[in-house]
Amino acid sequence: MKPTLRAVAEAVGVSRSTVSNAYGRPDQLSPQLRQRILDTARQMGYPGPDPTARSLRRGFVGAIGVLFTSRLSYAFTDPFAVRFLTGVAEAAERHESSLLLVPLPGEPAGARKAVENAAVDGFCVYCAGDEEGILDTIRGRGLPFVTTSARPREGDRWVGIDERAAARSVAEHLTGLGHRRVALLGHDVLPDAPTGPLRVTDVADVPHPTTRDRLAGFADAFAAAGIRWPELTVLTAPDNTRVAGAAAVRKLPAGVEPPTAVLACSDVLALGALEVLRGAGQDPRPVSVTGFDDIAEAAPAGLTTVRQSGEDKGRSAAALLLDPPPDATTRQILLPTTLVVRTSSGPVPRS
């Protein structure tokens, strides 16, 4: 058994408070006494104040929780999520704060428990599917949090982009190039839908908030070009991965009237789509493909996409948590996006 602060106090012959001060408030006792305490502590093998006990007493932990909707191990697979984490980590480093990554089980009840049991001072919630349930649990604990994806409530801290406008911008790029017959590609478009084309009556039905906003943005542009929602093909992928994107595109009905462009809700999906559409080369007419995020792999692949900075998002989120601006108005940060046109998009080929 490791010795406790109490044991050290007894060994040195001083009170517990004095030993505590020797560690936490050097200015509260004479240097000699402090040294004597530290020395005997070392000798006895006392590892210093127990972090858990200290947290309990002090009322704060020194760690912020990071919550990902999907399985935690998946998050590391998503390049954009990793950049977000990088940003969070940078801010945390500056504040000497640790990051607690909490794996959320699939079922809401389990997720709830996980959030309740996390020993943290606040949360960064990254794009949670069941975001509201999770946020409610956090609110229940009375802890501060920052969201990134869903539209926030008044007063909630939030950092994000104008998803819909950004999505509209790529789509307008395509309508400008003459594209009219297109397929939209997103993940979790409808609950439990099989990979492939889908009939979506109303964009509002899409459960995943980011997918919903981006699809809506795409639709805005096409509506402006005279194409209504039912005329758009919607492809769904089971998750946000390259292979899922590839699989979804393979399910495009063969033969008649293939789309001239695929608009994906993420670069990862778009890269999967590109693989399929450029790979076999079955169709001689190249199909335009666009993505979203501008991850590192987008540039070498020549992918036209919308750029947003994952690092900035993470950094801002953590900063909002760690030293919130006093005025509530600046607690919602809207980050910029840019349309990046590369070679994966071009004019509609002449038939």
The residue ranges that bind a second copy (CB under 8 A) are 2, 45, 47-48, 50-56, 61-63, 71-73, 75-77, 82-83, 85-87, 89-90, 92-93, 96-103, 105, 114, 116-119, 140-142, 300
Q: Which span (44-52, 187-195, 201-209, 287-295) binds DNA, by CB under 7 A?
A: 44-52
Distance of CA 236 to the CA centre of its chain: 20
User: Minimum Å distance from CB 197 to a second copy?
Assistant: 30
The residue among 130, 163, 128, 164 whose CA lies nearest residue 146 is 128
Rounded to 5°, the CA angle 214-239-224 comes to 20
148 or 233: whose CB is closer to a second copy? 148
159 or 215: whose CB is closer to a second copy? 159
Q: Contact between 16 and DNA (CB under 7 A)?
A: yes
Checking 201-207 for CB contacts under 8 A at 24+ apart, the result is: 202/229, 203/229, 207/129
24 binds, options DNA, a second copy, none, Cβ within 5 to 8 A by partner type: DNA
In order, the DSSP letters of 171-230 are: HHHHHHTT--SEEEEEESSSTTPPSEEE--S-GGG--SHHHHHHHHHHHHHHHHTT--GG
5 binds, options a second copy, DNA, none, Cβ within 5 to 8 A by partner type: DNA
Q: What number of other Cβ atoms are within 10 A of residue 350's Cβ? A: 5
Instruction: Indicate if the alpha-carbon torsion angle 288, 290, 294, 298 is positive or negative.
Output: negative
Pick one of 42, 43, 53, 224: the residue that binds DNA (CB under 7 A): 53
Q: Which span (20-28, 153-161, 218-226, 249-257) binds DNA, by CB under 7 A?
A: 20-28
Q: Which two tokens stand for residue 284?
A: 């001689």
Which residue shows structure tokens 């899409």?
206
Pick one of 10, 44, 54, 178: the residue that binds DNA (CB under 7 A): 54
Q: Which span (45-53, 234-242, 268-276, 326-334) binds DNA, by CB under 7 A?
A: 45-53
Q: Contact between 153 and DNA (CB under 7 A)?
A: no
89 binds, options DNA, a second copy, none, Cβ within 5 to 8 A by partner type: a second copy
Q: What are the phi and psi torsion angles at 7 (to 5°)?
A: -60, -40
The site string for DNA over 56-75 (x = CB under 7 A, - otherwise) reads xxxx----------------
In order, the DSSP letters of 136-179 are: HHHHHHT--EEESSSPPPTT-EEEEE-HHHHHHHHHHHHHHTT-
Pick one of 11, 49, 180, 331: the residue that binds DNA (CB under 7 A): 49
Q: Which two tokens stand for residue 66?
A: 């990071």
Pick one of 11, 18, 332, 340: the residue that binds DNA (CB under 7 A): 18
User: Minimum Å distance from CB 322 to DNA?
Assistant: 19
Q: Contact between 143 and DNA (CB under 7 A)?
A: no
Residue type for position 119? A
User: Minimum Å distance from CB 261 to a second copy?
Assistant: 25
Q: Give contact residues for DNA (rule: CB under 7 A).
A: 4-6, 13-18, 20-21, 23-25, 27-30, 33, 48-50, 53-54, 56-59
